[in-house]
Structure 1
Amino acid sequence: MKKASLLMMLGALLLLGLFQFPLWNIMLGAPQYPEPLGINIFINGLEGQSEFDLQNIDGLNHYIGMKTLPKPEDMWEFSVFPLVIGGMALLGFLLGVFGLLGKIGARWFLGWLILMTVLGVLGMYDFNAWMIDYGTNLDPNAIMKLQNPDGTPMSYKPPLLGHKQLLNFDAYSYPRLGGYLMGFGMVLTFFAYLVGRKKEYQN
């Protein structure tokens, strides 16, 4: 179980990268912006990819009635997510230690992975729900009121993943380094489970 436990510990510790690196990124490109505008999404707040990106995005959003981008104190997620990630990293590391000591089996590693997957899916669902609210609940008194061809109000929701055309903007939404580290950590924990189970069967 030594190798499996070390993989479990490393996989859990990779979650801590989310405290340093962005989880996700949304880019907005248009002909009038030689340098695309970008939002880096951390587990505890938002940052512009460049110095004035958040300010410029809020300025554009004002014309179509979108809310200003949230500050950390505006969303409970920015307070809860760091606690969840820190707690899961600590739990995973401790499971690895207990595995090294022979106190638990590989199924505990799989249990951690399942729990982390469920939390990740819930986090993505919450992120998408926030973008739906952000892109559809517009100020009726906005300067610009654009409609779809069928007369319904146009939605400016960015894509959860991939590319979407928003008026003359191309919006791109993809994971960043923190998200990739988290994903790689989860892959390592899956291998920890497989290696541990193989060792248990051999014994």
Structure 2
Amino acid sequence: MNASSNKLSFTSSLLIILAAVLFAVSNFFPWWKMVFWAPQYPEGLNIIVYPNKLEGQIDIVNGLNHYIGMKNFSEKNFPELSYLSYLIWGAAAITLLTALLRKKVVLYVLIGVIVIGGVLGVLDLHNALHDYGTNLSPDAPIKIAPFVPPVIGKNQVANFITHSLLGPGTYFLLTAFVLLLIPLWKDRKRK
């Protein structure tokens, strides 16, 4: 195997640079949200999750969740929000370095790390939702069966219908990941 067959093309390097930019841009957009609808809230209530903060009508949602014994949504209950943004900036920097080095092996390692990080992130969110929906206070005024809100999809609890959705930041991350995969195909037989 000659040295040039382990080298990424200039075009592939540009795609990887674009992926680094998308990783960085994702920090400024919501990654995930839950929208709650009920007859008394036809406009819906939101919990919007950025990589470093929560937004939306969190106080109203927490007030309603109190009735079923669910603990409060707050940034202090999600320690990931204190460091997730830094991890993404780090991923953007490492992706940029990968583009500059133009070595396939470095790209393979980067893709592996991103896959592991993505899987761990989804599992972490699922575990948090599981904890919120199954650790209900026995002293709650309204007794309901434990439940697990989906990471993506629809759920109904009492008269509330909840939709869990990906935010634009996640789509930027997914697009960046696809851009990292393209050079694997594009440069597969490069001589």
Same fold, TM-score > 0.5, yes or no = yes
Which region of structure 1 is more displaced relative to structure 2, 61-70 or 80-89?
Answer: 80-89
Alignment match of 2:178 (pick from 170, 187, 190) = 187
The aligned counterpart of 2:24 is 16
Q: Which runs of 4+ in 1 moved over 6 A?
A: none
SS at 1:69 equivalent: coil
The aligned counterpart of 1:69 is 73
Q: What does residue range 141-156 of structure 1 map to in structure 2 within 5 Å?
A: 141-146=139-144, 154-156=145-147
| Aligned residues between the structures | 183
For the residues of structure 2 that align with 1:88 and 1:66, how far apart are their CA atoms? 34
- Structure 1 segments unaligned to the other structure (5+ residues): 147-153
Alignment match of 1:174 (pick from 161, 165, 172) = 165
For the residues of structure 2 that align with 1:165 and 1:63, how far apart are their CA atoms? 16
Q: Percent identity of the aligned residues?
A: 34
Residue 93 of structure 2 corresponds to residue 90 of structure 1: yes
Over 3 Å counting, the alpha-carbon distance change for 1:38 and 1:30 in structure 2 is: same
Q: What does residue range 156-167 of structure 1 map to in structure 2 within 5 Å?
A: 156-167=147-158
For the residues of structure 1 that align with 2:39 and 2:147, how far apart are their CA atoms? 18
For the residues of structure 2 that align with 1:42 and 1:85, how far apart are their CA atoms? 12
Q: What does residue range 3-82 of structure 1 map to in structure 2 within 5 Å?
A: 3-48=11-56, 53-71=57-75, 73-82=76-85
When normalised by structure 1's length, the TM-score is 0.85
For the residues of structure 2 that align with 1:27 and 1:185, how far apart are their CA atoms? 26
When normalised by structure 2's length, the TM-score is 0.90
The aligned counterpart of 2:136 is 138
- Structure 2 segments unaligned to the other structure (5+ residues): 1-8
Q: Which amino acid aligns with 1:129?
A: N
For the residues of structure 1 that align with 2:134 and 2:29, how far apart are their CA atoms? 29
